[in-house]
């Protein structure tokens, strides 16, 4: 279980190959799952249909993307437009932040923006963060900030990635506590969220 108690928020970043990886990772999420905030590099016209499919597949609700919205358990949040999304501590709990600023690490929405926003709130929140398949290095720096702040950080391994770019850069940056396949990341995620009691080996 995450240090100090179960993870309160799950943040995930992905790019090339991400839709399939996310679909597998979040399939039939257990009841009581913490909110999941996702940045997937995807063309805005395709984002809505992907988000709806992902929510149906996971059994979670699709949350509203609007600054100040309180994150709810059993809900998935995914940027539907070319906007950054992040999280921070609000008066009643973690909330969504939406930003129309310039690209970060070459992207908008940016995984680094999401991860850095979560890292800044680590004094108030317990975070599980996963960086999945994708080209480039978006998310590597943010994942390192999360690790340094006390988050449980994981990355998809080379063998299971469609493109081993972003996770490789995170490993090189020393940002990753554990690397593994999607089934392994699912197990670690459930453990960190207090939904599973052990870190048994998958496969």
Query: Measured between alpha carbons, how far apart are the two ends of the chain, in Å?
Result: 21
Check whether the bond before 144 is cis (ω within 30° of 0): no
State how far Cα 136 lies from the chain centre.
Answer: 17
Check if the beta carbon of residue 153 is closer than 8 Å to that of residue 127. Answer: no
* Tokens representing residue 27 in the block: 């399939």
DSSP letters of 5-64? SS-SEEEEEE-TTHHHHHHHHTTTPPTTPPPEEEEE---HHHHHHHHHHHHHHHTPEEPP
Secondary structure (3-state) at 156: strand
Pair of tokens at residue 101: 């600023």
CA distance linking residue 95 with residue 46, whole number of Å = 25
Enumerate the active-site residues: 15, 41, 138
Nearest to 130 by CA among 28, 4, 34: 34
């Amino acid at each position: 279980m995450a240090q100090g108690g179960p993870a309160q928020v799950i943040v995930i970043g992905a790019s090339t190959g991400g839709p399939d990886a996310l679909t597998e990772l979040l399939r039939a999420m257990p009841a009581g799952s913490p909110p999941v905030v996702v940045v997937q590099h995807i063309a805005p016209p395709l984002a809505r249909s992907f988000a709806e499919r992902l929510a149906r597949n996971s059994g979670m609700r699709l949350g509203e993307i609007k600054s100040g919205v309180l994150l709810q358990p059993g809900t998935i949040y995914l940027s539907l437009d070319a906007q950054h999304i992040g999280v921070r501590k609000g008066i009643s709990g973690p909330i969504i932040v939406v930003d129309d600023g310039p690209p970060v690490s070459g992207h908008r929405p940016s995984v680094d923006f999401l991860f850095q926003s979560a890292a800044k709130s680590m004094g108030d929140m317990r975070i599980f963060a996963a960086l999945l398949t994708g080209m480039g290095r978006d998310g590597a720096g943010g994942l390192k900030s999360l690790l340094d702040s006390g988050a449980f950080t994981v990355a998809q391994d080379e063998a299971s990635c469609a493109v081993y770019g972003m996770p490789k850069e995170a490993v090189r940056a020393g940002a990753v506590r554990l690397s593994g396949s999607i089934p392994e990341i699912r197990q670690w995620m459930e453990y960190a969220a207090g939904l599973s009691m052990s870190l048994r080996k998958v496969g």
